[in-house]
Structure 1
Amino acid sequence: MDLSLLEELNAERAARRAAVVVTELGSGRQRLVKAQGVAGDPLAPQLAEVLRSAKSTLLTLGNERLFLAVEVPAPRLVITGAVHIAQALAPMARLAGLDVVIVDPRTAFATPERFPDVEIHAQWPDVVLPKLGIDAYTALAALTHDPKIDDPALIEALARDCFYIGALGSRRTHAARLDRLAANGVPREALARIHAPIGLDIGAASPAEIAVSIIAEIVGELRRRPTVDEDQSGRAA
């Protein structure tokens, strides 16, 4: 790989931005397509697909063979609330390939004993989330039922365009939550992005079942999300 192309690719990696290296197998020529430039590329449909799937692929166009090597940031799941559901959800998310972070200022709950081998921040979300650099490859699950913890996390997740934002609670609880967030200046159209009640509707009852419904919904959003350029152009919703 050309040194200048490698440096450009490493810059995208460091900034947690997706990109695709296109290699012409016959000539060996390579080029870098950044996520924000996909829509204007001649290979836009194929590039969009590898970005969605996060899987590199071999492509044949007429007599030309191309290898599309996709580079996407590792997806993360930030959970606010070191609760029983989180204890079931964290290992499921890790098995699904997500890096997991627990945020809960209640030090009695946010402990390594309850969440072994998981990154834990026993701090308030409005303090720690800006430092974590949550982004479009981050999912947020708000699980505490405590507005003082969940609301600031939801506001930050919406502002950072997290690919999935979910909150625990009944429809009545969520309606009250929406009113609070709107009163804090969050646009109503942005609030529509919050999945609540959180998780797929599978009739889940136990913490483990609820965790299954949540991770299934997160994976669905991760794999179906549009590329950056599609989202900005309005061609995908």
Structure 2
Amino acid sequence: MTHDATETFDPNAICETALAWHRAGTGAVLATVIETWGSAPRPVGSQLAISSAGDMVGSVSGGCVEGAVITEALDLIAAPAMKILEFGVADEDAFAVGLACGGTIRVLLEPVGAIMPEDVLAQIVASRAARDPVAYVVNLSTGARHIAGTDAFAQRFATDRSGVEPDGETFVAVHNPPVRLAVIGAVHIAQALLPMARIAGFDVHLIDPRGAFASGLRFPGEEISDEWPDAALDAYGLDARTAVVTLSHDPKLDDPAVIRALTSEAFYVGALGSTRTHAKRVARLHEAGLSSDDIARLHAPVGLKIKAQSPAEIAVSILAQIIAVMRGA
């Protein structure tokens, strides 16, 4: 069986891609890491979608066991069943298959439609699109499945952590809304930051009312808002899974965005500028009525202190800081 090797898929749209494959009649299997011990390159909840053509999106191991998972998945498309695979790698063999040291992972395989109901997967996809957190709950013994809300597994949602419950039978896959990044200022740093953030799993949105900067030529394929930053952020919506970074270096653009972000639930707010620039910014924010606690949330000068110089290096420092805050590092 052959397929177009040039076809590309969104690496973060795993459930969405599996649903699309199923509805197109291609057939799909969802593989999900349900438990890990020792050195595991992918966390619990990581997913891989496999089509009957052998296409795949996502990862359950960083490459070391994908081949075996795909082989099993293709068999399950032909003869649907729920299956749990366990892979153990000894210390002496670990390096050869991509692990730093020995470890064990368990992977749940579910053919879409025959085992994982289409309407359940569709509900997960719709909830992700609406930015509504949901949990997919599977009894690993009986195969019973259902969708649950945040009240049922509040701690798992708060820590963004999927896993098997203490009963040893109930697996909970947390589907929090994708993390978003709003970038104000279509500058050279943004040209590097946006693709990096997307690779890291962020939904990205660029805001700049200056047409000469925010052009499709400079940012091909990007979602760009040409509204004033505060109005654009109001339309975008700022929640607890949104980060905001201002890069224009122009107070007329940056300040309205910073004020909106600091008085919202956004988990991260960063602003480009030197220490001297930031001191002037703090004074303006106080004059605008922000409290010291609000202003203390602002990461400025933005980015980790790695002596970054080039736009790409600065983008790396910014993205690393956002992830550090998101993970509580």
Partner AA of 1:20 in structure 2: A
Distance 1:38 1:154, change over 3 A: farther
TM-score, normalising length: structure 1 = 0.78
TM-score, normalising length: structure 2 = 0.58
Alpha-carbon contact 1:80-1:153 (below 8 Å) kept: yes
Indicate yes or no: 2:296 matched with 1:192. Answer: yes
1:178 is aligned, of 279, 282, 289, to: 282
Which stretch has the larger CA shift, 65-74 or 21-30? 21-30
Distance 1:192 1:107, change over 3 A: same
Unaligned runs of 5+ in 2: 1-115
SS of equivalent to 1:61: coil
1:100 is aligned, of 204, 222, 235, to: 204
Q: Partners in 1 of 2:272 and 2:224 — Cα distance?
A: 20
Q: Partners in 2 of 1:29 and 1:61 — Cα distance?
A: 17
Higher RCO (CA-CA < 8 Å; seq separation 6+): 1
Matches within 5 A, 1:1-237: 13=128, 16-27=131-142, 28=144, 30=146, 32-34=148-150, 38=153, 44=155, 46=156, 48-49=158-159, 51=160, 53=161, 56-57=162-163, 59=164, 61-62=166-167, 64-224=168-328
Q: Partners in 1 of 2:147 and 2:152 — Cα distance?
A: 12
Q: Partners in 1 of 2:189 and 2:123 — Cα distance?
A: 41
Q: Partners in 2 of 1:6 and 1:182 — Cα distance?
A: 48
Q: Partners in 2 of 1:178 and 1:75 — Cα distance?
A: 27
Q: CA deviation at 1:126?
A: 1.9
Find the structure with the greater CA-based Rg: 2
Q: Partners in 2 of 1:99 and 1:31 — Cα distance?
A: 24
Which string of whole-angstrom CA distances, capped at 9 and with x for unpartnered residues, describes residues 107-159 of structure 1? 11000111111101122112221111122111111011111100111111122
Which stretch has the larger CA shift, 155-164 or 9-18? 9-18
Alpha-carbon contact 2:208-2:214 (below 8 Å) kept: yes
Alpha-carbon contact 1:24-1:30 (below 8 Å) kept: no
Between structures 1 and 2, the one with greater helix share: 1
Distance 1:186 1:113, change over 3 A: same
Q: Partners in 2 of 1:169 and 1:47 — Cα distance?
A: 34
Q: Partners in 2 of 1:66 and 1:48 — Cα distance?
A: 19
Q: Partners in 2 of 1:182 and 1:175 — Cα distance?
A: 11
Which string of whole-angstrom CA distances, capped at 9 and with x for unpartnered residues, describes residues 181-232 of structure 1? 121111110111111110010011111110110111112222339xxxxxxx
SS of equivalent to 2:137: strand
Distance 1:102 1:6, change over 3 A: closer
Q: Partners in 1 of 2:145 and 2:310 — Cα distance?
A: 54
Identical-residue share of aligned pairs (%): 49
Distance 1:110 1:7, change over 3 A: closer
Alpha-carbon contact 2:303-2:318 (below 8 Å) kept: yes
Alpha-carbon contact 1:22-1:33 (below 8 Å) kept: no
Q: CA deviation at 1:22?
A: 3.5
Q: Partners in 2 of 1:148 and 1:107 — Cα distance?
A: 16
Partner AA of 1:167 in structure 2: A
Equivalenced residue count is: 213
Unaligned runs of 5+ in 1: 226-237
Q: Partners in 1 of 2:293 and 2:265 — Cα distance?
A: 13
Q: CA deviation at 1:11?
A: 8.3
Q: CA deviation at 1:37?
A: 6.5
Alpha-carbon contact 1:9-1:32 (below 8 Å) kept: no
Alpha-carbon contact 1:23-1:31 (below 8 Å) kept: no
Q: Partners in 2 of 1:84 and 1:29 — Cα distance?
A: 47
Q: Partners in 2 of 1:201 and 1:176 — Cα distance?
A: 21
SS of equivalent to 1:22: strand
Q: Partners in 1 of 2:192 and 2:122 — Cα distance?
A: 40
Partner AA of 1:92 in structure 2: M
